[in-house]
Amino acid sequence: MSTMAPIYLDNNATTTLHPDVAQTMAEYNQRGLVNPASQHQLGREARHELESAREKLGALLGLHLEDIHADHLFFTSGGTEANNLAIQGYHLANENKNRLIISGIEHPSVTASAQWLASQGVDVQVIRTLANGQIDCEHLESLINQDTFLVATMLANNETGVIQPIEQIVSICDRYQVPVHADAVQAVGKTEVDFRQLGITSMTVSAHKIHGPRGAGALIARHGSAPRPILHGGFQQSAIRPGTESVTLAAGFTKAAELYLAQQVEHREHLIRLRDKLESAVVAQLDCATVLARSAPRLPHTSNIAFRGLDRQAILMALDVAGVCCSTGSACASGSSEPSPTLVAMGLAEDVIEGALRFSLGIFNSEEEVEEAIARICAVVSVL
């Protein structure tokens, strides 16, 4: 490997398309499938492929699919749209209730949707975060009331990888009969995700974090708990998410989930080995380095390391020149010089927040690459 070949440690921003997924999608394109809403035989063929992808993906994610009580899976343009549909669509479906509770560490697609609802008069409450990166369930319990139409939380955070206490959250919300929406975008494949077992009402997933196509996601909702639409158009997907469905994207998403989940245990072992190697070497060689939320339950592939006393943007740029691709936080917030709301919510010291970078590993990273990345990180940080 040439010394400066870029090493991609930004898999939480996106992952490369798996070659087998690319091939599946090419095959679907070559078949020339038409609009699945068309009423002729070619339309019916496309509809059959779309529904078969929906069913396969639903089964992989633990939906109840049999009988008249089958759960819903609405294909969307990604996690962002699915979160918008949940937050705004459940507000529309519960117009007699006015409180929305979200955690303080949500992705911008949840926080910005909630802020928009707040500007329209919705009472938005934010749950406090504990220092270990998990949401404070006692605070949730103090916020929840009969006027609450939804609690929105993540299964696992995209910046720290911290896995949230979803069982406890669901048990609190069940007592008040308040539905829970969970953003599972970073969790799928990296930890167990079974929709029915989780006991939640709705869930957001996205294809491009598990080597599927960008621009494909889904909102999953329990039978009888569909949101109201936020887009208006045709009758596709029960008119809850109108617009011509892409059979190719649906098939690509399903193939990616099939491939990733079939090997999820091996993938996790590989990712943990790489993450532990990265973290222990960097901390051993650099006095200023601290791994954030190291003792909390975490996803196997996400490592947020603070280089105390240094500026995250300066390290990011120097690492980019040295050929290490990482990030200062959510890709959807990049370009912003504001400190990460997630790290601020954890109440971390300013020098920790200012110097924090996210390294996110993927199944195609090798031990060799991680060793080379460690050398580059240590060299760059020592100079700075």
Ligand X SMILES: Cc1ncc(COP(=O)(O)O)c(C=O)c1O
* b/e burial code for range 23-35 (CB count within 10 A of at least 16 → b): ebbeebeeeebbe
3-state secondary structure of 156: strand
For tokens 């975490």, what's the residue?
298
To ligand X, the closest distance from the beta carbon of 101 in angstroms equals 17
Q: Which amino acid is at 104?
A: G
107 lies in the binding site for ligand X (CB under 6 A): yes
9 or 318, CB closer to ligand X?
A: 9
Among 331, 333, 375, 379, binds ligand X (CB under 6 A): 331
3-state secondary structure of 358: strand
To ligand X, the closest distance from the beta carbon of 106 in angstroms equals 8
What whole-number distance in Å separates Cα of residue 56 and Cα of residue 261? 12
Stretch in the footprint of ligand X (CB under 6 A) among 145-153, 180-188, 234-242, 351-359: 180-188
Residues 6+ apart with CB under 8 A from 338: none
Q: What are phi and psi of 168, to 5 degrees?
A: -65, -40
329 lies in the binding site for ligand X (CB under 6 A): no
Stretch in the footprint of ligand X (CB under 6 A) among 257-265, 296-304, 325-333, 337-345: 325-333
- Evaluate whether 105 touches 154 at the Cβ level (below 8 Å): yes
Q: Which of residues 158-177 bind ligand X (CB under 6 A)?
A: 158
What whole-number distance in Å separates Cα of residue 147 and Cα of residue 307? 43
Q: Which of residues 65-84 bind ligand X (CB under 6 A)?
A: 78-80, 83
To ligand X, the closest distance from the beta carbon of 370 in angstroms equals 22
Stretch in the footprint of ligand X (CB under 6 A) among 37-45, 111-119, 314-322, 327-335: 327-335
325 or 332, CB closer to ligand X?
A: 332
Stretch in the footprint of ligand X (CB under 6 A) among 96-104, 174-182, 226-234, 329-337: 329-337
10 or 376, CB closer to ligand X?
A: 10
Burial of 247 from C-beta contacts in 10 A (0-12 / 13-18 / 19+): buried
* Contact string (CB under 6 A) for ligand X, positions 181-210, x = contact: --x-xx-------------------x-x--
Is 332 one of the catalytic residues?
yes
**Residue from 137, 288, 325, 332 carrying the catalytic annotation:** 332
**Beta bridge pairs of residue 307:** 289
Among 37, 332, 375, 378, binds ligand X (CB under 6 A): 332
CA distances from 43 to 27, 33, 247, 321, 356 (A): 17, 8, 11, 50, 51
46 or 357, CB closer to ligand X?
A: 357
Q: Which amino acid is at 169?
A: I
Among 217, 227, 300, 355, binds ligand X (CB under 6 A): 217
Parallel/antiparallel/unpaired status of strands 123-127 and 72-76? unpaired
Active site residues: 332
- For ligand X, the binding residues (CB under 6 A) are 78-80, 83, 107, 109, 154, 158, 183, 185-186, 206, 208, 217, 330-332
